[in-house]
Structure 1
Amino acid sequence: MNGKNVVVTGAAGGLGSAISLTLAKAGAGIAVLDVNPDGARALAEKIRALGGNAVPIVGDLTTREGAHGLFAEAVRAFGHIDGLVNNAGIYPRRPIFEITDEEWNASLGVNVRGLYHMTVAAVEHMRPRREGRIVNIASIDAFKAHPKNSHYAATKAAVVSLTKTFGLEVAPLGILVNAVAPGPIATETAKKMGFLPSIEAETPIGRAAEPEDIAEVILFLISDRNRYMVGETVVAAGGYYIP
C-alpha cells in the first residue's frame, strides 16, 4: 500500500479503527473520517505516532453535499485517493413493532445513503486515473436472520445489492468494488451489548472475529493484489454462516 491513500469512514472506533491501523501499517495514507471529532483526531495521532500518515476528517456523510465535501477534503489533504472503505454504520436493535420512523431513517441514512454518496464521490475522483478500489462493509445479517435487527439487516442487504451494481458499472473504468460481510466481531460495543456468547457457541471456529481478522480481508480487496474480484461479497464469519 506504499504510495496509496485510503478514505475510511466510521474510522474512529471498533472495526474502523482496526481497518485504518492495518492499512496504515501496510503503508497507506489514511483519511480518518468520522462524525466523532475527538475519536478521529486520536486515531490519526496514533497512526502518526506509529510512523504512518493520517489526517482526521470530521463531518456527516448522509447528504450528497456532506459526503462530496468530506471526500474533497481528503483529496486536498493527500492529493489523490486510491481507495475507499465504506465502514460507517449504525446498529440499532429493536423488535419490529417498536422501530420508529426516525430509527428507520437513521439506519438508511448512514448505512445506505451515506455509502452511496461516498461511492459516487470516490468514483468521480478515481475515474480520470482509471484505477481505484472500493470496499463496502456489509454484514452476515444480510443473509442470516436475527431478531430485533430487521432495519439493520435490510440496510446491509442493500449494501450487498449496491456492491453488485456498483461493481458492474464502474469496473470498465478500472475501479473494483467489492464488499465484506463479517460475522460477529468482538468490538467493545458488541461486548457491551452482550450477544456475543450465544453467537460464538454457534460458530464452528469457536470465537467471534477480532477486528483485525476482518481488516486483513479488506487489506487484500483494497490493494492492487486484488486484480479480478468485482461485485463480490466476501463472507468472513468463522463458519457461522455456511449456505
Structure 2
Amino acid sequence: MILEGRKLLVTGAQQGIGAAVALRAAEAGADVALNYLDDEAATRAIAETITGMGRKAVLVRGDVTDIGALPDMVAQAAEGLGGLDLLCNNAGIYPRQPILELEESIWDATLTVNLKANAFLSKAFALHCKAAGCAGAIVSMSSLAVQGWQDSAHYCASKSGIIGLTRTLAIELAPLNIRANAIAPGLIDTAQPRGGYTEEQLKELVAGTLAGRWGTADEVAETTVYLLSDTASFVNGQLIHVNGGAFFS
C-alpha cells in the first residue's frame, strides 16, 4: 500500500497503460481521477473497479490539447478526490508518417498532445501543489522511440522532448518538494504499437528484445507506481526504460 492516502490524476486513463496505472495505483492505496476524451463507458468501468476496491474514483473528461482548460482539469480532480498530489502524464498519439511525407498538421498534433500538453499540465499541477502546500510527484510517458524509429520523426521528437522536460521539471520543482521522472515503455501489448505493422513484422520486433515477448501495461504500471511513491523519494529527473532489454538486441 505504498500510495495509501495519495491522490492521483492519470491522463488518457480509459485504456492501455493509463488504465493499468489507474488500477495499480488504486491497488496500492491511491484515490484516482481518470481523465478521458471520448470513451466514457470504458472509463466508467475502470472507475467502478476502483471504487470496488474501496478507493475513490472520479471521471474528468477533457482534451489535454486545450491548454487553457488544464488548470480546470487539475481543479476538478482535486475537488473530486479531496486533494491532489500525484500526476501521471500518459495521454499520447502515434500517427505513423514517413519524413518525406510528413505533414505539418501531423507534426503539430503529435507535439501538442505528447509534449506541449505534458508541460502545461505539469505546470498546472505544480501550481496546485504550491498553493496547497503539499509535496508531489510527476511521472510522464516517453518511449523506446527516443532511439529513433521508422516513420516516426514527429513521435520520436515528442518523446525525446519528454526527457529534457522531465529533467527541467525536476530541477525547477525540487524547491517545492515535487519530483519528476519519466518512463520509456518498449513494445507493450496495447493497441498503439501495433498500428502500421503486420503480424509478421510485430513478431520480428518482439523477438529482437532480450525478453522475447511483448511487455504488459501492468509492468509499466508497476514502475509508475514505484516512481510516484515515497519509496522512490531519492529518484528524481530520471528516465526509466521498461522495454525487455530492447537496446541489447
Q: TM bucket by the smaller chain? A: over 0.9
Specify the code of the residue in structure 2 equivalent to 1:13: Q
Shift of 1:125: 1.1
Q: CA deviation at 1:80?
A: 1.1
Residue 241 of structure 1 aligns to a residue in which SS?
helix
CA distance in 2, matches of 1:192, 1:182: 16
Structure 2 equivalent of residue 140 of structure 1? 144
State whether structure 2 residue 20 is matched by structure 1 residue 14: no
1:219-238 aligned at under 5 Å gives the runs 219-238=225-244
Corresponding residue number in structure 1 for 2:72: 69
Unpaired runs of 5+ in structure 1? none
Q: Which residue matches 1:24? A: 26
Q: Does 1:124 align with 2:124?
A: no
Q: Which amino acid aligns with 1:172?
A: P
**SS of alignment partner, residue 130 of structure 2:** helix
Task: Report the CA distance between 1:119 and its aligned residue.
Answer: 0.1
Q: Secondary structure of the residue that 2:183 maps to in structure 1?
A: strand
Q: In structure 1, the residue corresponding to 2:234 is in which secondary structure?
A: coil
Does the aligned pair in 1 maintain the 2:29–2:55 contact within 8 Å?
yes
RMSD: 1.6
Instruction: Give the TM-score of the pair, scaled to structure 2.
Output: 0.92
Q: Of the candidates 38, 54, 79, which is equivalent to residue 82 of structure 2?
A: 79
- Could you tell me whether the CA contact under 8 Å between 2:122 and 2:138 is conserved in 1? yes
Could you tell me which runs of 5 or more consecutive residues in structure 2 were left unpaired when the two chains were aligned. none
**Superposition pairs of residues 137-176 of structure 1, within 5 angstroms:** 137-142=141-146, 144-176=147-179
Structure 2 counterpart of 1:236, one-letter code? V
Structure 1 residue 188 displacement after superposition: 3.5
Match of residue 109 from structure 2: 106
Distance 1:103 1:38 in 2: 28
Contact conserved, 2:210 with 2:248, CA < 8 A, in 1? no
Output one character per residue of 1:184-205: Cα deviation in whole Å (capped at 9) or x when no partner: 1011443465453121111011
2:216 matched to 1:214? no
Q: Quick one: distance in 2 between partners of 1:118 and 1:137?
A: 13
Q: TM (normalized to structure 1)?
A: 0.94
Contact kept, 8 Å, 2:183 with 2:224, in 1: the verdict is yes
Following the alignment from structure 1 to structure 2, what is the Cα–Cα distance between the partners of residues 193 and 230? Answer: 35
Relative to structure 1, the CA distance from residue 202 to residue 56 in structure 2 (aligned partners, 3 Å threshold; closer, same or farther) is same
User: Is the partner of 2:230 in helix, strand or coil?
Assistant: coil
Q: How many residues align?
A: 242
Identify the residue that residue 183 of structure 1 maps to in structure 2: 186
